Every structure is written in structure tokens, then in C-alpha cells.
Amino acid sequence: MKAAFLLNFTKFTDWPEDELAPAAPMVLCVADAEVATALDSLVAGRSVNQHALALRRLKLDEPIRGCAVLYASKLDERRTLQLVAGLAGASVLTVGDAQDFAARGGMIGLFVDDGRMRFAINRNAVQRTRLKLSAQLLTLAKIVKDGA
């Protein structure tokens, strides 16, 4: 389910051309083995907005370069704040499932509500980058602010 959400987020996000050139591959960086395995079959041979999708498995202690999307799971508050600070100003869509991920400065936080997967968007975090999220995506999300 998380893999499907990640793939859909790419369809409703625009990156600046100097960060993701036309026809350049869109790299989804994933720091969660289970989600990466699920994404393997979803991204194979697919493209979004003329960008071929590529999956990169990573560990959060290695440099995060060339990622259009970064998904990290099960981060505690300290690791979430470190991740957000390390990517400050970068045009990387940050997605996580840690409690209050979006309120701690991540862009999109996944959570379960009444047995259904939902997501929260921190518009402040998105505005600190040059990413643009579609109005369609924003209407489906719970909107949160830094620290809320």
C-alpha cells in the first residue's frame, strides 16, 4: 500500500527542471526493504510525466544524492529532524511513516486512520523547496504545520 502511495505522489508533484530535467529518470530512494521490494514491480518499465522511474535502495547514513523522492520508515523524532535538516532546501519529496513525520518537517506523512492508509502534508515544508504539489493531492490530505 505504501509503495502505491509513493508512486501516486510522483504523479501529483512537479520538480523544477534544473533539479529533474525533462526526460531524466525520476529516482525513488527508499530506506525500507519491504517498501522497496513492493516498488520493484510497480516501477519496472514505467514512467511518470515522461520520466522513467528508477528505484534506489539506501540507508539513511549514506549520502542522499540524485533522489526525487525519499521514503524513510520508522524514524524516531531525532532521526526525522536530522533527515529534514540534512535535506533543507533540496527539491526532494520527503515521505515517511513515523508518527508526526509531516509535523516534524517532513513533506508527507503516511498514517493509518480507522484501518485505512491516509496522508498528511506539511505545506510549510513543501514551500521551503521549489516543489509544487497539485491541488488534487492537497484536497485529499490532512494539512499540518511545523510542530503541530
- pTM of the predicted model as reported, rounded to 2 decimal places: 0.95
* pLDDT at position 111: 96
Whose CA is closest to 58, among 83, 25, 76? 83
Beta strand 116-122 with 142-144 is parallel
Cα dihedral 20, 132, 14, 83, rounded to 10, equals 50
Specify the DSSP element, H or E, that contains 2: helix 2-11
pLDDT at 116: 95
Query: What CATH code is carried by the domain that includes residue 101?
Result: 3.40.50
Q: What is the pLDDT of residue 72?
A: 95
pLDDT in tens, the chain (148 residues): 999 999 999 999 999 999 999 889 999 999 999 999 999 999 999 999 999 999 999 998 888 889 999 999 999 999 999 999 999 889 999 999 998 999 999 999 999 999 999 999 999 999 999 999 999 999 999 999 987 5
**DSSP β-bridge partners for residue 116:** 113
* Domain count within the chain: 1
Query: Of how many residues is the chain composed?
Result: 148
Nearest to 53 by CA among 73, 32, 33, 36: 36
Residue labelled with grid coordinates 526526460 = 23
Domain that holds residue 96: 2-144
Q: What confidence score (pLDDT) does residue 63 get?
A: 80
| pLDDT for position 61 | 83
Is-contact 133 126, C-beta < 8 A? yes
In the prediction, which pLDDT does 148 show?
59
pLDDT of 65: 84
Instruction: Return the pLDDT at 73.
Output: 94
Contact 19, 132 (CB under 8 A): no
